[in-house]
Amino acid sequence: METTINLSQVLIILPILGAILGLIFRHKPKAFMLYFQGMVATELVSLIILSDFLAGSVTLPLSFIVVLAGACITLGRHLESTSPFDIFETFILMGLGLGFLLNPNNLGLIFLIGLFALLIVIQYRAKGFSDLNTRWVVGLYGTGIVFLSTSLSLSGQSQQVVLFLAYAMLLPLFPLHGAYLSLLNCLSGVLPAFLAVFLPVLGLHGLLPLLSFLPDEIKQVILFCAMLGVIIASLRGLVQIRISNILSQTALVFWSILWWYLCGSDIKPSAGIIFLSSAGFALCGLFLSGHTLKSRYGDLLVDQFGGLGSVMPRFSVLFVLLIMAGMGLPLFGVFSGFIAMAFSPSMTFSWSLAIILLAWFFASWRLPLLMQGTLFGKSNPNWIYRDLDLRETTALSFILIVLLILGLAPDAFFGLEHLDEIPVALMKAVR
Amino acid sequence: MNTQIPILVLILPFFAAFFIPLLSGRLGEKVSKIGITAQSISFLISILTLYHLTRHPPIRTSLFPDLATANPLFGFGLYIDRLSAVMMVLVTGVSTIIHVFSKTYLHQDPGYARFFSLLSLITFALLGLVTSPNLIIFFIFWQLISWLLYLLLAFNYTHHETCRAAFKTFIIFRLGDLFFLAGIFLAYHYYGTLDFPLLFEKASASNITLSLFPGDLIEINVVTAISLLIFVGAMSKSAQFPLHVWLPDTMFGPTPVSALMHAGIVNSGGFLLNRLAPLYGLSPVSLNIVFIFGAFTTVLGASMMLVQNDVKKMLGYSTIAQMGYMIMECGLGAFALAIFHFIAHGLFKASFFLSAGSVIHTTRVEPKSPKLPKTVQGLSGPKPAMVFSRLIWFTGFIVTLILPLIILFSAHDVFHIPLNDEAHGAVIFLFFGWVTSSQAIISIYRMNATASWKVIGIMLSALALIIFTYLFAGELFTVFLYPGPGESALYFEAAALPAALFDSLVILTSITIISVWVFLYAKARGREILMPSWINPLKERFYVLFVNRLYLDLFYQKLSRNVIQVAHKLDKRYLSWLP
């Protein structure tokens, strides 16, 4: 165990150190991007090498999701991104996140405090304090820092309560979702694509050991909050006019559905992880597509794009497939993950399932409209259109392949088939 | 025959869908040949498979056994029985014809390769659907069909109305999917399996009731709940009232897509009911509800068809009526008859749609086309006397009314129809044969109201042909599809309507048919039919109602607008402080 922990620190140091050294190339966009691609490849290889040490715990699949998401957004980042430091910030965040995932002690919580603090700084730099979104981030993540710091000196039930609240900000639970959604709505560059999947991964990792200690009454309250989140986000998603806003509401629906599952009794971590990774990658791909459009044509409303189907065929095909994945159509992972959760033995036919099914229906309303708004219609003859380049195509294709694998062979991915053999209560020992 | 060979039927269209866009740059419009070849070979193998199944038991193949072990829900594989094999032949046959037709139809279209790729992919999805071994795989292909049809309907995506109609289709399909998934969920929750034979076995072995409200106020049998939820899914795909509104709007889509849709996709609801026939056979309530919805859709579809002035829309409403007919047959337990019906309907409707394109085209380029019949040509001049033949009228009248007597006597065991032991089934078949032949004979009369033995001959032949088809071919087909001893009789028994209701139905239909004959008689003799004064305003009201599609489209529009308004209020007024 000791060796594993020591070796795994490489995975934390590598992205943080790599990000800092990468600043040397900040004035040479091509070299800057190449450097970070090399870095993420190194990180991925390191994780594969160390995977044997981490096998059998939830840490491995969750670390894989984080690094793979990092790899996808590094590949898919437009050369002239709207935010020059987004990739640098992504790597620092990745390092801190892995620090939390790989350290089953207070050190992990210290990494998490650092991550919250960095997110506040990033949001403040992007929008300033006058923006309502920044206040949400500062308010919630500031409280998160206080909770996490307090938890270092607490033990027992009180520690569990404060930790739970902090984690519920990462895996957004209504009404603690504000900071997460603000980050997705406001940040530019590839950061929203990364954060969409990254923060919930950290949240789930923290929550899994706590769930078995939650009393049923509290679970009912959480379920109520999650269902409220599903309803509000499903409805609000219908009237959003910016790609990022539509996707952020979709994200809240996804994570509320995951909360619904986590509130059940006798849950299987593998089903939750399949859904988390699938929904996360679908969001990552959709946000990355949004970044592609934003970096080419600016921050436009959905209807202002129009007609991309005929002028950006490569983008259109991949975007259609991502929309398919995002609204839970087979053969992609979101569908398999949802089915795996909904068909678990503990699930019964209840009002909450009816709401979840309605949310599923609203996703089929919201996302095809987003697709129609961007791809269908006539293109603007005054615009200069440019389809995806090879790197961007590879990134989106890679995400789709991951989603397809998760859809067709959900349990075989990440070695999840062995994960359910570990009862959730015993996972406490892993932390 | 090697039982692995039928996999090729699915694989070929699937690979064609991938190779068409990949090779389109190099081959140009020749890529269509990839699709045509793949469909043709699939068609031949389907015929071989059907032949094989006439002598052998159903084929069951697992495609990825390891995956199925890891997660039993995702048991990818094929289950091909006679029902699947018949459907495979129909799907691949129609698809081949449509591929060949599209080759010329889409000449020089910029989306040529995309169209052929999607066409091959939807053929694959349809084939996957009919060969699904369990309900979840069925549902996977079911959803894929919804999405692929949406993309095909929105083929001309620069046209706003096309996109709107495609979206409407998709959203209604998803509404059906919602209930379908709920049904699957219930089935899995109570029986622990979604594998067809196992599910039927467990459902028939248990009798579980479900309380809809706390306190056991309203209880429902689980099988009934499952079959009704799944039926809503079937209703959306098979355009049953009130989920039929998508179908008439899809006429902006390319003609081959309309043909495929009317010949194949709308039938998937009927196929679903057939596939789950053993489950429906356990719930008479569900079958009766299915019958009511089918009957209602038939009447409404046919009525709305009469007030259309657009060829393709008329065909669309005719499809709705035919689908209602098919669902009605399922509701009466005549599952095999429904399959027989939709094969026949699929073939003639596909040919209608493929011809409709050229008819419309000819009308556009040729100002004198279509040539009007002589009686209409002389509208500007003095009105010509209507041709009337008492002999023909009398023959038609008598011929169409002999059958209801036979039906009523047979239903009450006064006669025994010596076709097989399933007398009730024969009565159902006779009933449908009678309604169909009456319709045909009235049409023949309207077209040829001249005294001629030829017309009488045609009328009698039509009657004989239809009754023969329904009774003998229908019976044979039932035995072919449901060879299990007493299997089809079980469905007929489960679906049996109360005797009084059945008699009323026959009498009501007889009165309707008599009224039509009386109306034709009076019209031809130039006589006024004495009607109460409220009839004419009522007719006008019905006309307005049917022209406006029962205002259902408006209702849905208003409903969706209200949802959006609520969402707006929530977003801008009450929750504007939330990100």
Helices B82-105 and B268-275 sit at what angle, rounded to 10 degrees?
Answer: 170
Q: Which of A200-204, A289-293, B316-320 has the lowest mean pLDDT?
A: B316-320
Please give, rounded to a whole number of angstroms, the shortest distance from the CA of A241 to a CA of chain B.
Answer: 11
In a domain, B169, yes or no: yes
Specify the pLDDT at position B410.
61
Please give, rounded to a whole number of angstroms, the shortest distance from the CA of B25 to a CA of chain A.
Answer: 13
CA atoms within 13 A on the CB side of B148: 26
Specify the pLDDT at position B26.
86
When pLDDT is averaged across residues A116-121 and rounded to a whole number, the result is 95
Asked whether residue B385 carries a pLDDT value surpassing 50, the answer given is no
Asked whether residue A63 carries a pLDDT value surpassing 70, the answer given is yes
Q: Are B282 and B223 in contact (CB under 8 A)?
A: yes
Nearest Cα to Cα of residue A174 among A72, A262, A280, A259: A259
Token duo for residue A90:
């992504």
Interatomic CA distance for residues B471 and B428, integer angstroms:
9
Asked whether residue B25 carries a pLDDT value surpassing 90, the answer given is no
Specify the pLDDT at position B106.
84
Q: Are B210 and A348 in contact (CB under 8 A)?
A: no
Q: Are B48 and B67 in contact (CB under 8 A)?
A: no
Beta strands in B18-165 (DSSP E): 59-62, 77-80
What are φ and ψ of residue B500, in 5° steps?
Answer: -65, -40
What b/e readout covers B333-353, taking b as 16+ CB neighbours within 10 angstroms? bbbbbbbbbbbebbeebbebb
The ipTM is 0.90
Domain count, chain B: 4
Q: Which of B87, B112, B133 is the last residue of a domain?
A: B133
When pLDDT is averaged across residues B468-483 and rounded to a whole number, the result is 74
| Inter-chain touch A340–B73, beta carbons under 8 Å | yes
What amino acid is encoded at A164 in this protein?
F
Interatomic CA distance for residues A84 and A86, integer angstroms:
6
Specify the pLDDT at position B418.
47
Q: Are B229 and B272 in contact (CB under 8 A)?
A: no
Residue B349 and residue B209 share a domain: yes
* Between A381 and B503, the higher pLDDT residue: A381
Alpha-helical runs (H) found in A83-177: 86-102, 106-127, 132-153, 156-170
Q: Which of B305, B334, B367 is the last residue of a domain?
A: B367
**Distance in angstroms between the alpha carbons of the first and the last residue of chain A:** 12
What amino acid is encoded at B228 in this protein?
L
pLDDT in tens, B100-136: 988 888 888 888 899 999 999 999 999 999 999 889 9
Asked whether residue B56 carries a pLDDT value surpassing 90, the answer given is no
Please give, rounded to a whole number of angstroms, the shortest distance from the CA of A363 to a CA of chain B.
Answer: 10
Specify the pLDDT at position A347.
75
What amino acid is encoded at B473 in this protein?
A
* Rounded to 5°, angle at Cα B87 from B84 and B89: 110
CA atoms within 13 A on the CB side of A108: 18
* Bridge partners for B195 per DSSP: B134
Interatomic CA distance for residues A325 and A340, integer angstroms:
16
Question: Given pLDDT bands bounded at 50, 70 and 90, which one contains residue A4?
Answer: low
Please give, rounded to a whole number of angstroms, the shortest distance from the CA of B258 to a CA of chain A.
Answer: 21
Q: Which of A41-50, B294-303, B467-476, B541-550 has the lowest mean pLDDT?
A: B467-476
Specify the pLDDT at position A234.
93
Read off the DSSP letter of residue A174: T
What amino acid is encoded at A120 in this protein?
I
* Between A348 and B49, the higher pLDDT residue: B49
Q: Which of B72-81, B139-148, B320-329 has the lowest mean pLDDT?
A: B72-81
| Inter-chain touch A239–B571, beta carbons under 8 Å | yes
Residue B435 and residue B523 share a domain: yes
Nearest Cα to Cα of residue A239 among B83, B575, B515, B352: B575
**pLDDT above 90 coverage of chain B, percent:** 27
Which residue carries 């039906």 as its tokens? B407
Residue B357 and residue B238 share a domain: yes
Interatomic CA distance for residues A41 and B365, integer angstroms:
63
Interatomic CA distance for residues A272 and A409, integer angstroms:
15
Can the peptide bond before residue A209 be classed as cis, meaning omega within 30 degrees of 0? no
What are φ and ψ of residue B257, in 5° steps?
Answer: -70, -40
Asked whether residue B8 carries a pLDDT value surpassing 70, the answer given is yes
What are φ and ψ of residue B211, in 5° steps?
Answer: -90, 125
Asked whether residue A424 carries a pLDDT value surpassing 50, the answer given is no
When pLDDT is averaged across residues A283-304 and rounded to a whole number, the result is 90
CB atoms within 10 A of CB B398: 10
pLDDT in tens, B530-548: 778 888 888 888 889 888 8
CB atoms within 10 A of CB A3: 8
Check CB contact of B11 with chain A, cutoff 8 Å.
Answer: no
Cβ-based neighbours of A318, under 8 Å, separated by 6 or more: A285, A289, A388, A393, A396, A397, A400
Interatomic CA distance for residues B5 and B50, integer angstroms:
12
Asked whether residue B68 carries a pLDDT value surpassing 70, the answer given is no
Residue B333 and residue B217 share a domain: yes
Q: Which of A408-422, B229-243, B245-259, B312-326 has the lowest mean pLDDT?
A: A408-422
When pLDDT is averaged across residues B482-492 and rounded to a whole number, the result is 77
Q: CA torsion sign, B516 to B518 to B524 to B529? A: negative
* Between A181 and B255, the higher pLDDT residue: A181
When pLDDT is averaged across residues A53-82 and rounded to a whole number, the result is 85
Token duo for residue B31:
């890529």
Specify the pLDDT at position B78.
86
Q: Which of A38-47, A286-295, B140-149, B421-430 has the lowest mean pLDDT?
A: B421-430
Q: Which of A144-148, A150-154, B304-308 has the lowest mean pLDDT?
A: B304-308
Cβ-based neighbours of A172, under 8 Å, separated by 6 or more: A180, A181, A199, A200, A203, A229, A251, A252, A255, A256
Contacts of A411 in chain B (CB under 8 A): 70-71
Check CB contact of A182 with chain B, cutoff 8 Å.
Answer: yes
Cβ-based neighbours of A423, under 8 Å, separated by 6 or more: none
Beta strands in A170-224 (DSSP E): none
Nearest Cα to Cα of residue B92 among B52, B139, B45, B57: B45
Can the peptide bond before residue A208 be classed as cis, meaning omega within 30 degrees of 0? no
When pLDDT is averaged across residues B366-381 and rounded to a whole number, the result is 56
Q: Are B113 and B95 in contact (CB under 8 A)?
A: no
Specify the pLDDT at position B171.
94
Specify the pLDDT at position B376.
45
Specify the pLDDT at position B399.
65
Residue B453 and residue B358 share a domain: no
**pLDDT above 70 coverage of chain A, percent:** 93
User: Which of A185, A331, A357 is opposite residue B182, by nearest beta carbon?
Assistant: A357
Specify the pLDDT at position A229.
94
In a domain, B528, yes or no: yes
Check CB contact of A372 with chain B, cutoff 8 Å.
Answer: yes
Can the peptide bond before residue A175 be classed as cis, meaning omega within 30 degrees of 0? yes
User: Which of A181, A347, A364 is opposite residue B171, by nearest beta carbon?
Assistant: A364
Token duo for residue A367:
């996302």
In a domain, B326, yes or no: yes
Domain that holds residue A186: 2-429
Contacts of B73 in chain A (CB under 8 A): 339-340, 343
| Inter-chain touch A307–B136, beta carbons under 8 Å | no
Question: Given pLDDT bands bounded at 50, 70 and 90, which one contains residue A209?
Answer: confident
Domain that holds residue B435: 392-547
Residue B262 and residue B402 share a domain: no
Interatomic CA distance for residues A189 and B415, integer angstroms:
81
Check CB contact of B150 with chain A, cutoff 8 Å.
Answer: yes
**Most confident option among B68-82, B225-239, B457-471:** B225-239
What residues of chain B, 165 to 184, have a C-beta less than 8 Å from chain A?
167, 170-171, 174-175, 177-178, 181-182
Please give, rounded to a whole number of angstroms, the shortest distance from the CA of B88 to a CA of chain A.
Answer: 22
Q: Which of A230-239, A283-292, B568-577 has the lowest mean pLDDT?
A: B568-577
Token duo for residue B273:
């009911």
Alpha-helical runs (H) found in B412-534: 423-447, 453-468, 474-481, 487-495, 499-524
Chain centre to alpha carbon of residue A182: 14
Q: Are B172 and B243 in contact (CB under 8 A)?
A: yes
Specify the pLDDT at position A85.
82
CA-based Rg of chain A, rounded to a whole angstrom?
A: 20
Q: Which of A341-345, A377-381, B462-466 has the lowest mean pLDDT?
A: B462-466
Interatomic CA distance for residues A295 and A73, integer angstroms:
14
Interatomic CA distance for residues A70 and A37, integer angstroms:
10
Residue B45 and residue B118 share a domain: yes
* Between B469 and A196, the higher pLDDT residue: A196
* Between A5 and A346, the higher pLDDT residue: A346
- In whole numbers, what is the pLDDT of chain A averaged over residues? 87
Q: Which residue of A has its CA nearest to B63?
A: A408
Can the peptide bond before residue B532 be classed as cis, meaning omega within 30 degrees of 0? no
Specify the pLDDT at position A259.
94
Chain centre to alpha carbon of residue A344: 24
Question: Given pLDDT bands bounded at 50, 70 and 90, which one contains residue A165?
Answer: very high
In a domain, B146, yes or no: no
Specify the pLDDT at position B379.
44
Specify the pLDDT at position B420.
46
Residue B334 and residue B206 share a domain: yes
Asked whether residue B359 carries a pLDDT value surpassing 90, the answer given is no
Asked whether residue A313 carries a pLDDT value surpassing 80, the answer given is yes
Interatomic CA distance for residues B62 and B56, integer angstroms:
18
Asked whether residue B233 carries a pLDDT value surpassing 80, the answer given is yes
- In whole numbers, what is the pLDDT of chain B averaged over residues? 81
Q: Is residue B217 classed exposed, middle or buried when 0-12, 13-18 and 19+ CB atoms within 10 A define those classes?
A: exposed
Q: Are A340 and A299 in contact (CB under 8 A)?
A: no
Residue B177 and residue B98 share a domain: no
User: Which of A236, A349, A408 is opposite residue B567, by nearest beta carbon?
Assistant: A236
When pLDDT is averaged across residues B314-330 and rounded to a whole number, the result is 87
Read off the DSSP letter of residue B574: I
CA atoms within 13 A on the CB side of B502: 22
Helices B32-53 and B7-27 sit at what angle, rounded to 10 degrees?
Answer: 170
Residue B322 and residue B433 share a domain: no
Specify the pLDDT at position A103.
86
Interatomic CA distance for residues B516 and A378, integer angstroms:
51
Domain count, chain A: 1
Question: Given pLDDT bands bounded at 50, 70 and 90, which one contains residue B28?
Answer: confident
Residue B202 and residue B178 share a domain: yes
Asked whether residue B206 carries a pLDDT value surpassing 70, the answer given is yes
Mutate to test the interface with B, among A235, A303, A338, A378 (most CBs of B within 10 A): A235
Token duo for residue A157:
């039930």
Residue B192 and residue B338 share a domain: yes
What amino acid is encoded at B329 in this protein?
E
Specify the pLDDT at position A221.
93
Q: Which of B367, B382, B411 is the last residue of a domain?
A: B367
Question: Given pLDDT bands bounded at 50, 70 and 90, which one contains residue A57?
Answer: confident
pLDDT in tens, A327-337: 989 889 899 88
Asked whether residue B371 carries a pLDDT value surpassing 70, the answer given is no
What b/e readout covers B271-290, taking b as 16+ CB neighbours within 10 angstroms? bbbbbbbbbbbbbbebbbbb
pLDDT in tens, B390-418: 666 666 666 666 666 666 566 555 555 54
What b/e readout covers A30-49, taking b as 16+ CB neighbours within 10 angstroms? eebbebbbebbeebeebbee
* Between A72 and A129, the higher pLDDT residue: A72
